C-alpha cells in the first residue's frame, strides 16, 4: 500500500497552493469583512483550469483524477472556505453529476462550458422548509408537452447570484407512494424567464462567498434539460452529495491544517510566564490534537478519492470522511482561537474566521447528526447501498486526457 502522493499530485497541490496563497490570501480578510465575493476569484479559477480539474479533457476539463480534486480543495480551504465552496457546488454537486448521469448532449451543452470556467454551476436542492428532510421539498416540475414547468424556491444556495446553471431537484410526481420516487433532477439555466435570485448576508461565516436564494416562477425547461429519468431525482441528489461531501471533507482537512499552522507559529512567538507558550503543556495538547485530527482526516478523504478513482461506490467512506473532518475542523479552529488568546478573538488574526467558517461545514452537505445516523445505519446493517443506474466514472488517465475527436460536428 503506497501512502505517498505521486509527483503529479505534488505538483497539482503546489500549483493550487501557490495560487491561493499568492492571489487570494492577501485580500481575503477584507472581502470577508465586506461580505462580498472577490470578483477575480471565479474567472481566475476558471483560467487556471481548477474549475474543471477532474473532468475529462474531451468535456473541457483538465483530465486530472479525483485525488487531485481533494488536494486542490485542501489547499483552497487552507486560505478560505469560500474558495472550496466554489469547488463543492460547481464541481462536486453539479459538474460531477453531469459526468455521472448526463447524456452526451448534456455533457457538451452544460459540462464542457462549466469545466472550462465559461459557465458557473450550482446546486439547488435545499429549500426554506426542507434541509435534512429532502423528501419533504415543495418545488414542483410539471410535464407540459416537451417541456417541464418548474416552480419553487431554493435557499442556502452557494453561488446563487453567480451561477449560470443550476442542478435543480423538484417533485414531478406528488402522488408517488414513496416521495423518494417522486423527484426529478433538471438543469435550469439562470437566464431563463422566471428565474430570480438574491444574496443572503449576515451569515456567521463563509462571508467572502456568495450564498443566496433562487426562485423559479413558471420556468419552462425542455425535456433535454432533465437529468436522468423521472423519479430518479432523489437518487441523483444523493449521488451528488457523495461528491460534494468529498470536497467538504478535503477542505475541512485544509482548515485543520491552517488552524494547526497558525497555532504553531503563534505559540512559538508569544511568551507568558517567561517562555514561549509552546512550552506550556496544555497548549501542546491542543496542537497535538490538531495533528492527530489532520492526519486522520487527510487519510480518510484520500481514501475516498482513491475509491472514486477505482470506480468503487464510496458513499459510506465519503460520509465518514466529511463527518470526521468537519467536526474536527470546528474543534481545531476553536482551539486555535484559544491558543491565540484575546488576539484569537479579534479579526486581527485569521483564526476567528476559520472558526466562523468551520461551523457551516458541520451543517451543510449532511449535518453531523445525519452522518451519525448514516454510519450507524451501515454498521448495524439497517442501511445498504442500492446499485445505481449510472456510476461515477472511474479515473482513466488515457481516456480522460485524450483530446476531443475532431469528428463531424454534431
Partner 1 sequence: MNIVVCVKQTPDTAATVTVEGGQVSWGDSPLVLNPWDEYAVEEALRTKEAHGGKVSAVSMGPESAKDALKQALAMGCDEAILISDEALEAADSLATSHVLVAAIGKLDSPELVFFGKASVDSASGVTFAQTARLLGQPLLSQVAGVTSIDPDSATITVERLLPEGREVVESSMPAVVSVTKEINEPRYPSFMGIRKASKAEIPTWGAGDLGMDSVPKAKVDWPEIFAIQQEATSCEVIEGETPEAMAAKLADRLLEEKVI
Partner 2 sequence: MAGNIVVYIDHVRGDAPPASWEAIGAGVELKAELGGGLKAVVLGKDVKALAKQALTYGVDEALFGEDDRLEDFRSEAYANALHGQLGEADVVLFPDSARTRDLAGMLTVDLDTGLITDITGLEITGGDLFATRPIYAGKLMSKARVIEARPALITLRSRTFSAPEATGGGEPTRIEVDPGEALTSVVELKPSEGGVSLTDAAVIVSGGRGVSNNPSLEPPSDITDEKEIEIWRAHQGFKLVQDLAGVLGGAVGASRAAVDAGYIPYSHQVGQTGKVVSPDLYIAAGISGAIQHLAGMRTAKTIVAVNTDPDAPIFKLARFGVVEDLYKILPPLTEALRKRLGK
* Residues within the interface to partner 1 (CB under 8 A): 6-8, 11-12, 15, 18-19, 48-49, 53, 62-64, 68, 401
Q: Whose Cβ is closer to partner 2: residue 231's or residue 276's?
A: 276
* Binders in 30-59 for partner 2, by CB under 8 A: 30
349 binds, among partner 1, partner 2, none (CB under 5 to 8 A by kind): partner 2
Helices marked H in 80-201 — which ranges? 81-86, 96-101, 104-106, 112-115
Taking the complex as a whole, the smallest distance from the CB of residue 292 to partner 2 amounts, in Å, to 27
User: Catalytic annotation on 365?
Assistant: yes
348 binds, among partner 1, partner 2, none (CB under 5 to 8 A by kind): partner 2
Q: Which of 6, 5, 242 is nearest to 101 (CA)?
A: 242
C-alpha 308: how far from its chain's center?
15
Q: Whose Cβ is closer to partner 1: residue 133's or residue 295's?
A: 295
Phi, psi of 392 (to 5 degrees): -65, 125
Residues 187/225, Cβ–Cβ less than 8 Å? yes
Consecutive H or E run containing 247:
helix 233-269
Looking at 77, 153, 352, 365, which residue is catalytic?
A: 365
Q: Is 189 exposed, middle or buried (0-12, 13-18, 19+ CB in 10 A)?
A: middle
Residue 248: C-alpha distances to residues 79, 142, 170, 389 (Å)? 14, 33, 24, 25
Q: Which set of grid coordinates corresponds to residue 210?
A: 456568495
385 touches partner 2 by CB under 8 A: no
Provide CB contacts within 8 A for 209, sequence distance 6+: 37, 81, 82, 85, 86, 158, 159
348 touches partner 2 by CB under 8 A: yes
Query: Which string of b and e fits 268-282 if b means at least 16 CB within 10 Å?
Result: eeeeeeeeebbeeee
Consecutive H or E run containing 155:
strand 147-158
343 touches partner 2 by CB under 8 A: yes
Taking the complex as a whole, the smallest distance from the CB of residue 405 to partner 1 amounts, in Å, to 18
18 touches partner 2 by CB under 8 A: no
Count of residues that interact with partner 2, criterion CB under 8 A: 8
Alpha-carbon gap, residue 225 to 150, rounded angstroms: 12
369 touches partner 2 by CB under 8 A: no
**Measured on CA atoms in the order 364, 365, 370, 376, is the torsion positive or negative?**
negative
Q: Whose Cβ is closer to partner 1: residue 48's or residue 299's?
A: 48
359 touches partner 2 by CB under 8 A: no
Q: Is 66 exposed, middle or buried (0-12, 13-18, 19+ CB in 10 A)?
A: buried
Q: Whose Cβ is closer to partner 2: residue 280's or residue 383's?
A: 280
Contact with partner 2 (CB under 8 A) among 5, 29, 192, 196: 29
11 binds, among partner 2, partner 1, none (CB under 5 to 8 A by kind): partner 1
Q: How many CB atoms neighbour CB 357 within 10 A?
A: 31
Q: Whose Cβ is closer to partner 2: residue 343's or residue 378's?
A: 343
* Binders in 265-304 for partner 2, by CB under 8 A: 269-270
Taking the complex as a whole, the smallest distance from the CB of residue 73 to partner 2 amounts, in Å, to 24
Taking the complex as a whole, the smallest distance from the CB of residue 266 to partner 2 amounts, in Å, to 8
Q: Whose Cβ is closer to partner 1: residue 12's or residue 160's?
A: 12
Q: Is 338 exposed, middle or buried (0-12, 13-18, 19+ CB in 10 A)?
A: middle
345 touches partner 2 by CB under 8 A: no
Taking the complex as a whole, the smallest distance from the CB of residue 243 to partner 1 amounts, in Å, to 19
Consecutive H or E run containing 77:
helix 66-79
Considering only the stretches 148-156, 273-281, 342-350, 369-377, report the one whose residues sit in contact with partner 2 under the rule CB under 8 A.
Answer: 342-350
186 binds, among partner 2, partner 1, none (CB under 5 to 8 A by kind): none
Q: Whose Cβ is closer to partner 2: residue 28's or residue 171's?
A: 28
Residues 200/142, Cβ–Cβ less than 8 Å? no
Taking the complex as a whole, the smallest distance from the CB of residue 401 to partner 1 amounts, in Å, to 6
Taking the complex as a whole, the smallest distance from the CB of residue 122 to partner 1 amounts, in Å, to 23
Q: Rule CB under 8 A: which residues touch partner 2?
A: 29-30, 269-270, 343, 348-350
Q: Catalytic site residues?
A: 365
Amino acid at each position: 500500500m503506497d501512502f505517498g502522493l505521486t509527483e503529479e499530485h505534488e505538483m497539482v497541490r503546489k500549483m493550487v497552493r501557490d495560487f491561493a496563497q499568492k492571489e487570494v490570501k492577501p485580500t481575503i480578510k477584507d472581502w470577508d469583512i465586506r461580505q462580498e465575493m472577490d470578483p477575480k476569484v471565479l474567472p481566475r479559477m476558471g483560467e487556471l483550469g481548477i474549475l474543471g480539474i477532474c473532468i475529462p479533457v474531451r468535456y473541457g476539463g483538465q483530465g486530472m483524477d479525483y485525488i487531485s480534486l481533494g488536494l486542490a480543495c485542501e489547499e483552497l480551504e487552507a486560505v478560505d472556505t469560500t474558495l472550496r465552496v466554489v469547488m463543492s457546488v460547481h464541481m462536486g454537486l453539479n459538474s460531477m453529476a453531469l459526468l455521472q448521469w448526463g447524456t452526451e448532449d448534456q455533457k457538451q451543452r452544460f459540462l464542457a462550458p462549466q469545466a472550462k470556467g465559461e459557465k458557473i454551476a450550482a446546486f439547488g436542492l435545499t429549500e426554506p422548509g426542507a434541509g435534512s428532510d429532502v423528501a419533504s421539498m415543495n418545488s414542483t416540475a410539471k410535464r407540459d408537452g416537451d417541456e417541464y414547468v418548474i416552480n419553487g424556491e431554493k435557499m442556502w444556495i452557494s453561488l446563487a447570484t453567480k451561477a449560470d446553471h443550476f442542478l435543480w431537484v423538484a417533485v414531478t410526481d406528488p402522488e408517488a407512494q414513496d416521495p423518494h420516487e417522486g423527484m426529478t433532477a433538471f438543469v435550469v439555466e439562470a437566464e431563463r424567464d422566471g428565474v430570480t435570485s438574491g444574496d443572503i448576508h449576515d451569515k456567521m461565516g463563509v462571508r467572502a462567498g456568495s450564498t443566496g436564494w433562487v426562485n423559479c416562477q413558471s420556468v419552462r425547461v425542455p425535456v433535454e434539460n432533465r437529468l436522468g429519468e423521472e423519479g430518479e431525482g432523489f437518487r441523483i441528489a444523493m449521488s451528488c452529495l457523495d461528491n460534494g461531501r468529498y470536497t467538504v471533507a478535503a477542505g475541512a482537512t485544509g482548515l485543520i491544517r491552517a488552524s494547526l499552522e497558525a497555532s504553531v507559529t503563534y505559540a512559538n512567538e508569544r511568551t507568558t510566564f517567561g517562555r514561549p507558550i509552546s512550552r506550556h503543556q496544555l497548549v501542546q495538547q491542543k496542537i497535538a490534537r490538531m495533528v492527530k485530527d489532520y492526519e486522520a482526516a487527510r487519510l480518510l478523504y484520500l481514501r475516498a478519492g482513491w475509491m472514486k478513482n477505482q470506480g468503487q461506490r464510496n458513499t459510506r467512506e465519503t460520509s465518514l470522511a466529511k463527518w470526521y473532518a468537519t467536526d474536527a475542523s470546528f474543534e481545531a479552529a476553536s482551539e486555535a482561537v484559544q491558543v491565540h488568546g484575546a488576539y484569537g478573538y479579534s479579526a486581527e488574526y485569521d483564526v476567528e474566521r476559520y472558526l466562523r467558517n468551520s461551523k457551516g461545514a458541520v451543517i451543510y452537505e449532511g449535518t453531523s447528526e445525519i452522518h451519525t445516523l448514516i454510519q450507524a445505519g451501515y454498521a448495524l446493517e439497517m442501511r445498504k447501498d442500492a446499485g445505481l443506474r449510472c456510476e461515477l466514472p472511474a479515473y482513466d488517465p488515457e481516456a480522460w486526457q485524450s483530446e476531443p475527436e475532431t469528428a463531424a460536428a454534431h
